[in-house]
Amino acid sequence: MNNNTKSDAQLPKRAAIQLTRANQESEDTAKRLADSFPHGTVIDSDRHITLHGHGISWIQLIAESWVWKTVLGAPVAVYLTRLAQHAADHTWNKREAIVAAARDAAAKPLRDIATAVHFARLHGEPTTPVLLGVPVPDDHFATVVTLDGDSIEDVVHQLACFVDGAELIDTVVNKIRDEDEDGIQGRVSLLFEPSGLVRLRWLTLRNVRVVEVKLELPSFSRSTHASGTGESSPCEASTSEPISVDFGK
pLDDT (tens digit per residue) in 72-117: 999 999 999 988 887 777 777 888 888 999 999 999 999 999 999 9
Count up the domains in the chain and report the number.
1
**Mean pLDDT, to the nearest integer, of 47-75?**
78
The number of beta carbons lying within 10 Å of the beta carbon of residue 8 is 5
pLDDT tens, 160-196?
Answer: 999 998 998 999 899 888 888 888 988 899 987 665 5
- Residue spans of beta strands (DSSP E) within 53-184: 59-62, 130-134, 143-146
Residue 1 included in any domain: no
A 10 A CB-CB count for 243 gives 12
On the question of pLDDT at 229 being above 60, the answer is no
Report the half-sphere exposure of 117 (CA within 13 A, side-chain side). 28
221 falls within a domain: yes
Instruction: Tell whether the model's pLDDT for residue 22 goes beyond 90.
Output: no
- Identify the DSSP state of 12: P
8 lies in some domain: no
Using alpha carbons, select from 215, 130, 214 the residue that is nearest to residue 165: 215
Question: CB-based contacts of 177: which residues, under 8 Å, 6+ apart?
Answer: 136, 137, 183, 184
Residue 5 within a domain? no
Work out the number of other CB atoms within 10 angstroms of the CB of residue 161: 26
Structural domain range at position 197: 13-246
SS3 143: strand
Percent pLDDT > 90 in the chain is: 35
3 lies in some domain: no
Sign of CA dihedral 115, 120, 123, 125: positive
Q: What pLDDT score was predicted for residue 7?
A: 36
Question: In the chain, count of helices (H) and strands (E)?
Answer: 6, 9
Number of residues in the chain: 249
Q: Quick one: pLDDT at residue 46?
A: 61
Lowest mean pLDDT among 69-73, 122-126, 150-154, 179-183: 122-126
**Please, which pLDDT band fits residue 233 given cuts at 50, 70 and 90?**
very low
More confident of the two residues 212 and 248: 212
Task: Tell me the β-bridge partners of 34.
Answer: none
What is the radius of gyration, based on Cα positions, of the chain?
Answer: 18
* 172, 159 contact by CB (below 8 A): no
pLDDT-derived band at 21 (thresholds 50, 70, 90) equals confident
Q: Please calculate the CA angle 153-156-158 and round it to the nearest 5 degrees.
A: 110
Q: What angle do CA 34, 173, 80 make, to 5 degrees?
A: 55
Higher pLDDT, 53 or 148: 148
What is the pLDDT at residue 42?
92
**Domain for residue 129, yes or no?**
yes
- Between residues 129 and 90, which one has the greater pLDDT? 129
Asked whether residue 214 is domain-assigned, the answer is yes
pLDDT above 90 (res 49): no
Q: Which of 24-33, 113-122, 220-229 has the highest mean pLDDT?
A: 113-122
Cα dihedral across residues 234, 190, 126, 24: positive or negative: positive
Q: Tell me how far CA of residue 108 lies from CA of 135, 164, 208, 229, in angstroms.
A: 27, 17, 43, 30
Does 119 fall in a domain? Answer: yes
Cis amide prior to 234 (ω within 30 degrees): no
Strands 185-192, 17-21: pairing kind: unpaired
pLDDT of 126 reads 73
The one-letter amino acid code at 110 reads L
- Strand 209-214 and strand 243-246: the pairing is antiparallel
Residue 153: its pLDDT value, please?
Answer: 94
